[in-house]
Every structure is written in C-alpha cells, then in structure tokens.
C-alpha cells in the first residue's frame, strides 16, 4: 500500500494514501515509534474486511460490531497544505460517517497538531464520540496522569474513577497505580484495557529515550463514552495504545464534530516531575 511522507528537520511522519492511517512517526536519529500491524489478518464484517495496519487511526465510540469496524480502505481525498495535509475517507457503509484528519507539522520542533473530524453523511441523527487511537511498539512505559485534589470544597466527593474491561486483571504486574500517575509497562502479557476521566488532558509514552506526549481538550460538563472515560489504554502482545476521546454528541445529517490532539516529542524526561522521572527510568530500564 502506497505511503507519503511529511517531514521537518526534527520529525518524519508517514501516512497511507488508501487507508486513513498514520503509519510512521520517526524523530530525527531515532526509529519509528508506532507499531506496524500490516501482518495481521483482517476482521470480516458485513461491510467488508477491516485491516488494523497499526499506527494512528480515527474511530468513533462507543465500540460496537460491526459499526466500529466498517472498512476505511479505499482511495483517500488528499489535500496538501503548507507544512501539512488533509486526509479524508469516503463515507462509511452502515454508519454514514465520513472521517477526516488534518495534520500540521510544527516548523521548528518535533511536534504536530492533528484535527480529527467526523461528518454525518447519513439520513438520520447519530450519537457518537470521536475516538483517536495511537498504537506504539512495545518495550516502553505509558504515563497516565491522575486527578488530584478535591472536586468539592469539603473534599467529601470522589475524584477518581477507573473502568476496567472484562479481560483486564486488576493485579496485572505491568500496572503501577500511584496517587499522581498510573504507569503501564508495555510487555507481552494477556490483553489489558483501562479507561478513566483525565482532567489534565494528556497521555505519554516513554520508549528508547524518546518521550511522546499527546494533549487534548477536556470538557468537564459533558458525558464521555465508556463510563465517562476521555482517556484509555490498551495493550496486547504486539502493541500498546494511547487513546483519547471527545464527549458524546448527537450529529444531525450534515453536521460534524472535531477532536484535536497535539503531539510533542522530547528526548529526555526533564519536562516531567522529578519523582516521575525516577520511576520511568527505573521501569523502562533507561
């Protein structure tokens, strides 16, 4: 499958021309941070075969079969921009949703802004939430910042709510629960998925001396999918995912909704608190 490249002096980003995927994210002097799943067999659906391929993709939540897995393979509409590109699919069969990702590389650093858009081309309203999934290669440590402090003046109400999928083990040895951060070591053990409401609006992955951080907006007055989760992590034997979500919205025919992520790449841990730097260095073996 054909690919094209966006690059500046600090970062190279590759994307497919016939599937809405970012397949490569390579800082200068490093190797691709993203997982390659091109060897995986497709998932059959009533609308055709769905291919994971790896890398970064745009879905819409809540997850359901076959709606979520409607194939996005087919010639994309590609619009070149100064320092970027817009990638747009054909309308999905079944859901009537059309997907678009606008990618803008920063001119002066290893960073990019991704604007994800879902458009309802169907004949009836659809309730959904934009859901962006970035698959990384194994061997690193995911960082999930936790809510801290009171949510009410007296400190009587809970401030943390974690959701675990049925196959997840709460005592999974890869999972490190802390008051300020959750750490997850991406090793090959049974599948694991967890979601939660993340008011800080960022997730990170530390691997081979590279810190990837994705930042996204947070709306505290709206409801998110998956027990009000705006941030999720999934891991299996081949990759680990950092996922962010927008609130649920009802799209009338012709309407659209957006979800923006900012990606930043650093080559040390100095941007993080000292206690977290020590924990990541020990966990990742760096």
Let me know: does 179 contact 162? Beta carbons within 8 Å. no
Mean pLDDT of the chain: 94
Residue 64 belongs to domain spanning:
3-284
Is residue 286 scored above 70 in pLDDT? no
The verdict on whether omega for the bond into residue 66 sits within 30 degrees of 0, i.e. cis, is yes
Give, rounded to a whole angstrom, the gap between the first and last alpha carbons of the chain. Answer: 35
> What are the pLDDT digits (tens) for 91-104?
998 899 999 999 99
Give the model confidence (pLDDT) of 9-68 as tens digits: 999 999 999 999 999 999 999 999 999 999 999 999 999 999 999 999 999 999 999 999
Asked if 26 and 12 touch (Cβ cutoff 8 Å), the reply is yes
What pLDDT score does 273 carry? 82
Instruction: Please state the rounded mean pLDDT for residues 169-180.
Output: 95
pLDDT tens, residue by residue, 107-116 = 999 999 999 9
pLDDT at 242: 98
Q: Residue 285's pLDDT is what?
A: 46
pLDDT for the residue 283? 61
The b/e string for 195-219 (b: 16+ C-beta within 10 A; e otherwise) is: bbbbbebbbbbbbeebbbbbbbebe
Does the structure show a pLDDT above 60 at 284? no
CB 48 within 8 A of CB 71: yes
Domain count, the chain: 1
Q: What is the CATH number of the domain that holds 129?
A: 2.70.98.10
Average pLDDT of the segment spanning 229-240: 97
Instruction: Output the DSSP codes for 83-112.
Output: TEEEEEPPPPTTT-EEEEEEEEE-SSSSEE
Percent of the chain scoring above 70 in pLDDT: 98
Q: pTM of the predicted model, to two decimals?
A: 0.95
Residues with Cβ within 8 Å of 18's Cβ and at least 6 positions away in sequence, in order, are 1, 2, 73, 74, 75, 76
């Amino acid at each position: 499958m054909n690919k094209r490249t966006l690059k500046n002096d600090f970062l190279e980003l590759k994307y497919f021309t016939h599937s809405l995927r970012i397949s490569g994210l390579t800082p200068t002097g490093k190797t691709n941070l993203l997982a390659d799943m091109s060897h995986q067999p497709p998932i059959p659906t009533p609308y055709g075969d769905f291919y994971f391929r790896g890398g970064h993709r745009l879905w819409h939540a809540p997850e359901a079969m076959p709606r979520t897995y409607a194939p996005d393979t087919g010639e994309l509409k590609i619009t070149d921009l100064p320092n970027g590109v817009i990638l747009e699919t054909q309308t999905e069969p079944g859901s009537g949703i059309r997907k678009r990702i606008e990618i803008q590389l920063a001119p002066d650093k290893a960073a990019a802004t991704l604007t994800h858009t879902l458009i309802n081309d169907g004949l009836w309203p659809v309730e959904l939430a934009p859901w962006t999934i970035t698959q990384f290669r194994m061997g690193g440590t995911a960082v999930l910042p936790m809510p801290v402090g009171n949510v009410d003046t007296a400190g009587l109400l809970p401030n943390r709510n974690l959701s675990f999928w049925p196959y997840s083990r709460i005592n999974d040895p890869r999972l490190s629960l802390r008051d300020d951060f959750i750490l997850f070591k991406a090793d090959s053990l049974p599948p694991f998925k967890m979601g939660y409401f993340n008011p800080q609006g960022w997730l990170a992955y530390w691997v081979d001396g590279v810190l990837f951080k994705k930042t996204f907006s947070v709306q505290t007055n709206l409801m998110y999918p998956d027990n009000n989760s705006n941030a999720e992590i999934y891991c299996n034997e081949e990759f680990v995912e950092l996922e962010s979500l927008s609130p649920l919205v009802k799209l009338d025919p012709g309407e659209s909704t957006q979800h923006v992520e900012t990606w930043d790449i650093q080559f040390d841990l100095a941007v993080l608190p000292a206690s977290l730097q020590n924990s990541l260095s020990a966990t990742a073996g760096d």
